[in-house]
Amino acid sequence: MIEIICHIDILKNGTAILDGTKTSLLKQINALGSLSSAAKQLKISYQHAWNMVDEMNRLAPQPLVVKQRGGSNGGGTQLSEYGKRVIKEYVYIESHVISLVKKLNVEVSL
């Protein structure tokens, strides 16, 4: 069977602000409140996760992720309000692309 697949990358000056991996990381940070836990869940190193967050925050007009240092609650990592909005927009784009790809896969027979 032949099928079309599509990966979504949102670029700024040729560098991906968002892609499937970065979006998964943001979703896990949002769910778990911890960069370390999110990295473990995705089976990537903490350093790699931190590098992705740093790159996204530098490229985006506003930070997507905010990190709180330890303290009585132990600190944590969370999405900014802007980060939450960006994820919603990415999911919206992704749902439309998936819908189009499904339609094309039905129509295309090579």
Instruction: Output the pTM of the full model.
Output: 0.87
Is the pLDDT higher at 64 or at 108? 64
Q: From 3.90.1150.10, 3.30.413.10, 2.40.50.140, 1.10.10.10, which CATH number describes the 10-107 domain?
A: 1.10.10.10
Q: What are the residue ranges spanned by the domains of the chain?
A: 10-107
Residue 40 has pLDDT above 80, yes or no: yes
DSSP 73: T
Residue 4 confidence class, pLDDT cut points 50, 70, 90 = confident
pLDDT at 71: 56
pLDDT at position 76 is: 87
Q: pLDDT grade, residue 41 (50/70/90)?
A: very high
Question: What local confidence, expressed as pLDDT, does residue 107 receive?
Answer: 75
16-20, 70-74, 96-100: which range is least confident on average?
70-74
In angstroms, the CA 55 to CA 39 distance is 16
pLDDT reported for residue 2: 76
Q: 28: Cβ–Cβ under 8 A, 6 or more apart, which residues?
A: 37, 38, 41, 42
- DSSP bridge partners of 67: 77
Mean pLDDT to the nearest integer, 51-58: 97
Rounded to the nearest 5°, which phi and psi values hold at 84? -65, -40
